[in-house]
Structure 1
Amino acid sequence: MQLTGNTILVTGGGSGIGAGLAGAFHRAGNQVVIAGRRRDALEAVANQYPGMTHLPLDLGNLACIDAFADELVRRHPDVNVLVNNAGIMAVEDLERSVPRVIRAVCSTNLIGPLLLVSRLLPTLKQHPRAAIVNVSSALAFVPKASMPTYSATKAALHSYTQSLRFQLQDSSIQVIEIPPPMVYTDNRPTDANGVGVDEFIDEVLSELASHPEAGEAVVSAARRLRFADRRGEYEKQFTAVNPMPQKGKS
């Protein structure tokens, strides 16, 4: 992916990884559009970067995606990079499932991004260089049992990204996956497997710059889970992610 001279849409751009990516892409010399549910959060990010714009988007409300895409292309016909970053996490007890939570996580993390890709593909194909960047998760590869729907949607997004990359291999669109590890939005990691937002963003940009044709940007802290199966360590890492609770002594 070329890191400058693009017009980039970043979903979930009002906080966390999305805000970090948006700022980094802006500083690298791109026109950046951020989208998200909270207008005040979007405005707070955009106000830090002259020229950055924002549009409201709730990916959990699937009915609004067509109108959002129309407005985006009307305002920014040169948009050539989509960063599907928006996502929500939920801790769930599967014996007491809440359908509303399941629907929200699936819509925001998977169905919405897929519909947005489908809607923007005709526009992206018009550009000689374009990219779709899907932000999945290290938990796509080793799930966290307490967040089953979140982990499942990210695994599905990984699978979809592979298929999308294959189908677009002869087009001008590069398909990239970024699987974050645990990222601490206050930049204060509490364990060796997590990173702060700034460190994560710096390493992602370094990976993209060093390997501009690569299909993945995997930071150091994500590699333990991302490549667990390849290294024959899946069971070990699954146990590490999902430790059995300590039983009290009688």
Structure 2
Amino acid sequence: MDITASTVFIPGATSGIGLGLALRLQAAGSTVVVGGRRTERLAAIAAEHPGIGTVEIDTADPASIERARDEVVSRHPGLDAVVLMAGIMEAEEFKDPASLEIAERTVVTNLLGPIRLVHAFLPQLRAQGSATIMTVSSGLASVPLAATPTYNATKAGIHSLSETLRVQLETTGVRVVELAPPATRTDLMGLKDNPTALPLEDFLDEVMTILGAQPDVAEVLVERVKWQRFAEREGRYDEVFEALSSRYRG
């Protein structure tokens, strides 16, 4: 992915990592369009950040995805990168039957949504000759957090999807890049004020350095996430899993 000259659509980029990445890519020279459900937030982003395009999209709604695709491609026929940022993370307690609603919503948003987005945008990306799909998994795809079982499962699914898509698309000119954030200071799960989470700007600094130095990188892994990503490979899985589980047990 050429961070200096790509045309990028990032659904789910109205705050946190998504918006931060959008602004960094724009500053590097790329044309960027962000998508989200909240029209008032999209309007604020357009006003606060001249040059950033905005499109309304609900990634849980197939019709909304198709409308957004048509709008983005109409405005930007050279679109050559899509970052599948949209996602939710909610604590759930399986002993409570009401948690099923959280689980179902999480699967639709975090797993089915990205799958639908890939299908919607793949013809456009293939037509460019060289293009990028960036998926967004998590350190929790490798070692899960007990408080968020379905979130972990969807992010493990995104990791697996990324691996297999990379093989299926290797002859099409569409590269698949997986971004795996660690716990980062955003509004997700109240991490914004968590001193143990990685500051957002530090995370973005590392991500942009990796993308700039390795435009063909398969996985974007900042140093902090390697504790989880390589835990099983390095024989530390039980130790890391217990450290994460102890937070649930209190």
The TM-score normalised by the length of structure 1 is: 0.93
Say whether 1:185 aligns with 2:174.
no
Contact 2:133 2:176 in 1 (8 A): yes
CA RMSD of aligned residues (A): 1.5
Contact 1:208 1:214 in 2 (8 A): yes
SS for the counterpart of 1:176 is strand
Contact 1:46 1:52 in 2 (8 A): yes
Which 4+ runs in 1 deviate beyond 3 A? 186-189
2:249 aligned partner:
245
SS for the counterpart of 1:183 is coil
Matches within 5 A, 1:134-173: 134-173=135-174
The TM-score normalised by the length of structure 2 is: 0.93
Say whether 1:203 aligns with 2:206.
yes
Cα deviations across residues 98-140 of structure 1 (Å, max 9, x unaligned)? 3322221111111011111111101001113210001111000
How far apart, in 1, do the equivalents of 2:117 and 2:249 lie? 40
1:90 aligned partner:
90
Contact 1:83 1:132 in 2 (8 A): yes
The correspondence for 1:233, drawn from 202, 227, 236, is: 236
Moved more, 197-206 or 56-65: 56-65
Q: Which runs of 5+ in 1 are unaligned?
A: none
Quote the offset at 1:42 in angstroms: 2.1
Say whether 1:133 aligns with 2:137.
no
Cα deviations across residues 143-180 of structure 1 (Å, max 9, x unaligned)? 11110111100000100000100011112111100110
How far apart, in 1, do the equivalents of 2:175 and 2:164 lie? 12
The correspondence for 2:220, drawn from 217, 220, 225, is: 217
SS for the counterpart of 2:116 is helix
Contact 1:12 1:87 in 2 (8 A): yes
Residue 101 of structure 1 aligns with an amino acid whose one-letter code is: I
2:64 aligned partner:
64
Quote the offset at 1:33 in angstroms: 0.4
Quote the offset at 1:189 in angstroms: 4.9
SS for the counterpart of 1:131 is strand
Moved more, 64-73 or 215-224: 64-73
How far apart, in 2, do the equivalents of 1:100 and 1:76 lie? 37
SS for the counterpart of 1:132 is strand
How far apart, in 2, do the equivalents of 1:68 and 1:45 lie? 17
Contact 2:92 2:103 in 1 (8 A): no
Moved more, 20-29 or 3-12: 3-12
Q: Which has more helix, going by share of residues?
A: 2
Quote the offset at 1:91 in angstroms: 0.5
Q: Which runs of 5+ in 2 are unaligned?
A: none
Cα deviations across residues 208-247 of structure 1 (Å, max 9, x unaligned)? 112221101100111100111111111110001111736x
Quote the offset at 1:44 in angstroms: 2.3
1:28 aligned partner:
28
> How much identity, in percent, do the aligned residues show?
38
Moved more, 58-67 or 81-90: 58-67
SS for the counterpart of 2:48 is coil
Residue 114 of structure 2 aligns with an amino acid whose one-letter code is: P
SS for the counterpart of 1:174 is strand
Contact 2:11 2:85 in 1 (8 A): yes
Matches within 5 A, 1:67-82: 67-82=67-82
Moved more, 180-189 or 95-104: 180-189
